[in-house]
Structure 1
């Protein structure tokens, strides 16, 4: 058994289209951990925005807004394109569709989606401080142009000290340009361009960390450009420490072209220019023409997340869907994958199905199916083909048979990702349920076989369980912990609980452990405060806990069609008295030392 562990430290991205909220729950968003967009929430906004040495350009969006869905690819592209500027300006996003963020979005007076706001460095938290609106561009290039225009304005207003000087050069005097360069500058690269391009400002921001150089630009400065006799613009020039001007490249159409030329010039001078950060398949088109993603998957994921939170709040219960899914998996993917079943393996299958016939919580048609399945196996002769079992189960899954009450799905055994929990969790729950169900059905029957379910489980794990190491460990544990020494139905329940905790101890911190559901010694104190006192298990309380959790009256039907189950479903216990069942405890031969954590 695992314990759910929720984080309460911060929001962080996890997996495609999700992030972990402050309280540890998951939400759906338009940005993932693979993007360079900082996902903000009501819980981390203050820490990320106020009093920081960098500025932030924040998109306030609604994940169900079609325009926002189209806009997202270009916003991701911007964040990646200016990743080198992150220590100066951070590209971020807030999903106003998240209930946790709705009040914050109201406080910031977000009236339309998407809305872009610029928050300058050292921003203060005050009621009237809601950032400065920044106009959306048509694509990643125009987004960047709008941002640079904002930065230029910030510097005019005596802010933006973290940026290099982005004011265009207006003086025709090269000497003045060099004299006003930052201390330590040996080479000043000057981009001569018009008002329609931003190559100079882009390069200044990209290369701000390169020592001994500075990048400036001038726009439509004819007094400066005429003496150079440059014919094609934009053009890249360099002014060295002797104030000589050299034309490096005319007709520089992209910043990448200019950057490569600067890198080529500086390499012999032993000044390193880092390579630009790039990502494949960056969206460069107009965002209004972007394909709207299929939100069905996101909607389904949100519904699954809501269900997951509901399941966690329900505590220690068993779900019919988990039991049925484990049953299906065991037949279709383990038993049916065995080419031929004979001898000891065939007897193990008969024992397994016999236990299911007696104790599995099917409705009338389900029980009828199990009885029929048992008869088919018994009359199959000495050898049964796994393909035959596969055919019988697939036939049973047809909708008109009314055998299974739910599709194959995990409810209580759903892991934080697809590779966690699932079938191993479901199989444990199935056998815990069967041991308790056997005690319920045979209460007061001194002739009942206490080994019936445990032997069926042992035979199944030995002959069919797909994990060979797990099977070997279980067989060794059965011998070491004297499974054959169990003398009552109650001690069978306790033995399986002890075995489960032994496995949890072995697999704790293992790579297969779900980080959200760590392997622990159960029941944990919060679920059963009286089950362990002073680090010693109270077996009387343990048996009561297990019978309550795995009792048929505690099965939940989320995801199941109860009409199928309730048609002919038997009562919850043999004598109808759950009080008698919970108090009828026999811990003979199960020593305290064997179950102490």
Structure 2
């Protein structure tokens, strides 16, 4: 029998790993839940130059928060714990916000050019950063030193930021307009499964903060409602709604949070999403096992009948294998979309990055594996686009490390 090409063997091994990962996650739920905080968005850039920092500031569709500090500064050391808590609290905003820090002792010219007069200094830069006529745009200083004051200011600035160029899950901070309907909103967005309307009273930021905190949930689009009369356009009583979720079938799910805070709103939405996910879990595979069983048993009999004396031992199934096949055939296999997406997440974030160097046959196998997932795996459009982006990058490169791969995954997921 002809031996399959080695990349094909590796692809089969990856597919087997995917299958067993699905089983493991289905029964053990070993994957870290998406709601748990990931690594801090805070990134240090020692010995920064103007060019390095400006390149970071020029990144499109992102607000940037830059901390200018010094390790010998007493106020900076006092602010360190606040900054640590802030970086974790803003983790859900990482799709629209990048945070950097510059040590002014090691980057004296940078701090001079950006006109840093005291430490620590927090500056926000919009996505349309550009040099001004005096040399360098110095950004918007955030003077508050408490977490609530800082997050309030950043939320306001992010709401006015430009997100031109965002292709997937673009945040919409513009308040709901009278001509917009459930049909038109879902027609504009063919990715999201749910639409959330959140009422934001005058002089409040509860809608903006709820939108930002829900960004990791790509299946949800949040829109802010300032005119309560607009709820009537969605078949709801005006002035009686604060938070409501719609699915694509037009079914509404009004929510009554425990209190009027973005945290309570987000907690209510997450709880509802978990309930909806459990109720709508769809079976992706449910084979006609009687027909499949007869086909496999027929092929097994053919192999045993046609084999000659020298290879009967290889072709015939031993008693142990028969027990395995009978067990599988008598227990219909059910694979859920949530399990597949979770398993793919484990492979992309944990298993593949363990490989020190991915090149040649291993790289070809990885490309083939991603291609199989793109064409055969019934995952969400967001996940499919991530796989396409990864495959496109791999096709133009001939070598990478496991650490390069996880950086690539994190980059495209943003």
More helix by share: 2
Q: Of the two structures, which has the highest relative contact order with CA contacts closer than 8 Å and spacing of 6 or more?
A: 2
Query: What TM-score, normalized to structure 2?
Result: 0.47
